[in-house]
Structure 1
Amino acid sequence: MMTGSSVVTPPHFCFSLHKMNNKHSVCLLQRILMMESWMLMILIMPGVWSGYWSVTFENQCALKGTSVVMKCSYDYPSGQRVTRVDWYKALSIQGQRRLYPLSRLFSPRDFKYVGDKNSNCNLKINNVQLADEGLYHFGFVTTSDRWTSKTHANLNVKELTAVINPSTVKEGDDVNLTCVSGCAHTTISWLKEGRPVPKPVKASREDAGTYFCAVQGQETVRSNSVTLNVQYAPKRVTLLVSPPGDVVKGSSVTFTCSSDANPPVTQRGYSLYRDRQFISSGQKHTISDLQPRDSGLYQCQAWNNISWMGDDLINSTHIHLEVQYGPMNVSVSVDPQQPAEGSSVNLTCSSEANPAADNYTWFKRTDSSSSSTVLQVGGGQVLSLPSMTASHTGLYLCRARNSVGEDNSAEMLLTMIREDHGSQTHQIIAGVGVVVLVILVVALLLYWKKQRTHAAEKQTVFGSRIIGEGLSSSATEVQQDAVYANIQRSSSHPRNTHHKHNVPFSVEAELIYTTVTSKPRNKSRAPEESRATAGETNDSVIYSTLVQSS
């Protein structure tokens, strides 16, 4: 070997000699090998002095699990041909640094010479492990000489390390996710649960999970796994009711509230409301005996001490619970409340039901001396009686029915008001008296008008008689002029619009005589003249007849 180089016996050979417990043989063999090396150096020394030998390396940094190429080039004097190449790794044994051929240390699949026998001496190392880190040397043999480099190539083996600080954040906080490689010019990509993802900057609930970094293009080379814990307020708050669908009075239902939250919502973090009124806390709530008052809008509320956009309490959607029940509180009303004979009457049946009652039946109780029987008398919510009679009075009840059940009302007594005929007679007589009074007033007005006309005519007649007959005597007696006024009522049936039934009656004709005394203007007339003219018609008689038609 050339001066400055050193070749030692492979380790396994030395170890085998130790196992033989023959220290003398070991020392003898080592001396023989050293003597051979010096003899070889003496023989080839002239060749060294006549040429230029060199090996150039580049230090490498490799990540665990990757492949790396140890860059290497070499040179030697012209006129020689390379017959053998070898890579060596420097190991320290018992405090001494020695070189061992890689072909005897490692599998050829992990270390592969990719250079040539001219000038390229590159070495490729596959699946780099931490134990591969160290100093590497290159040596070659030509047709006349052998050379092993004094310099070396340094291989640094690093591991990818993923770091999250802090590992637990709240939604919306900054995320500091770092990948430490230790080797420069390494392109890193991030993977979440095996899928490539961009590195998160602001934490969201979707960012929670397990991360690791890898060499881009070599995703199998991965770092350690780190977990990002993102705390967030409840989302997808859901309220379920079992059994679903329509529920009937007396049955039971269970409400269950659930959510997606970090940290999970505890039992005390759930609240149930009906029509915005608090019902209970806890994830489940059961109503064992449903009543109509349990109908309403139900909503679940979840809380885990984490706010979202300023809200600490997150609500679910509403569930409308409608409790169905048969008719209840069935009642009967009458219009009018006190019907008269012959009038129309409506009996109305009312009830509380869900769904609303859609079938009504009317019954009437009939009593006899031996038994009491209930007979069906009609259907529909309203029972109409067009003309009230005595046969319609009695006890009535109605039955209301829907798809859930049925119920009867209490019995209601229907009575009738009878009209008082004596009272009607008094009313008729009073009406006739009013009519007669009006007729008398009219007759008196007519008579007064006629009387004024008659007085004027009488004065004219009396004046003519005195002038024509030359009466000289004054009347000693007072002559009287009789005026008769007859008023006759021919109607026998008075009108009465205040009663529904007319009662017949008749009024006899009445004759009324009225006497009017007329005094002569000349009181000095002699009785003889009065008697002389007694045979004549001295007084004027006026008959006035008034007839009123019906």
Structure 2
Amino acid sequence: MAPLLLAALGLLGGACTEAWGVNLKAEPVSRMEGSCMTLPCSFSYPQREQVTAVMWKQNDMYFVYHLEEVWVSAVFKDRAHYLGDQQHNCSLRLSGLRLRDQGTYHFRFQTTNGNRTEGWTGQPGVKLSVLADACGTPHLQVDPESLTCSVRDSCPYSPSWYGPDGRLIPEQTQQGNQSRLQRSSSQLPPGTALSCLMDGYKEPCTPDWPPKSALNKTSVEILQLTQRSLGRDNNSIMLHCQGPSREPVTRYIWSRDSKWLLEAGEDLSITHEDVAGDGGYTCGIWMSSLGWGLLVSSRGEPITLHCRSGCFQLSPLLIGAIVVAGILIIAFINLGAHYLCRRGQKKTELAKGETMAVDSLCGDVLNCPTLEMESTYENVGFKSCGSRTAL
């Protein structure tokens, strides 16, 4: 009796494993515009069947995915990623959601068995709702030693920084609609990326994240001069930040000696006045879209510019000291001239000898009466500032 029962259970188990069907989560899915979604899916069929085609459709009208790419609707190309296979996994990932992506999604597969072809569509499918974006594109603010990612005040989510490994960075300060990360350029290794994601968009469902094209293509190039030195004969060197040609770059940023520069542009002009000693330059690109931002550092070693002799830079402290010294010198000159004029007014006569007029010193500088200086072979003195005395 027991062997017969086990045999019956085995037949039932085999029948269940060979049943036609699609196992798909039936609950509706709601996502924000610009975010992404992953639909876990599995399918089954009799063992004697051979799968020849797998596909996803929206509203039974548009192909989201098909083995033959020519059938895929243009609006889903490069956004729909089939994570499954032709055996039993039919999971789908859809990124960069748009309002028009709303609808019901079905998975269908086809099989053959000899000359017979079968097809099966999962029912009732999954209903997707896409909500209008309220956060916009994240904005990057740069300070010499920090990076700030911010979004609109109307955004219900907070931005967060994630490291190259995709993990949340704990050393960040979140306040309202922005997050500040205390991190210098030297703390971002060449060819790596930092991500700024909204809490409502942070599902890691992009297969190529961060984009390999951005990591591999971002670099610094010298556009002018073959030598990497600056002197008075070389007015400037133009550095160029080369980004990926197939990725939209929102902003370029530069750094020198671990400090982020405030300049933002694809090209950076450097003169000999900008370089004090040696300076290593790197660049980065900021790519952003609805709900996410990506900062990619240039690959390779920083470009170092050497300062030749005659090339120097005055620090703000030294400039301030020079200005103060100049003011003090002028003050001492005026005090000395004033003292001499006052002394000349008190004297009644000077030693006899050849006189020399210095009217301009008293008249033009201190507006005092005419001053004359008499000199002899023995001494030099100042005549009193009064009316000219006849010899």
Normalized against structure 1, the TM-score is what? 0.27
Larger RCO of the pair (alpha carbons < 8 Å, separation 6+): 2
**Higher Rg of the two aligned structures:** 1
Normalized against structure 2, the TM-score is what? 0.35
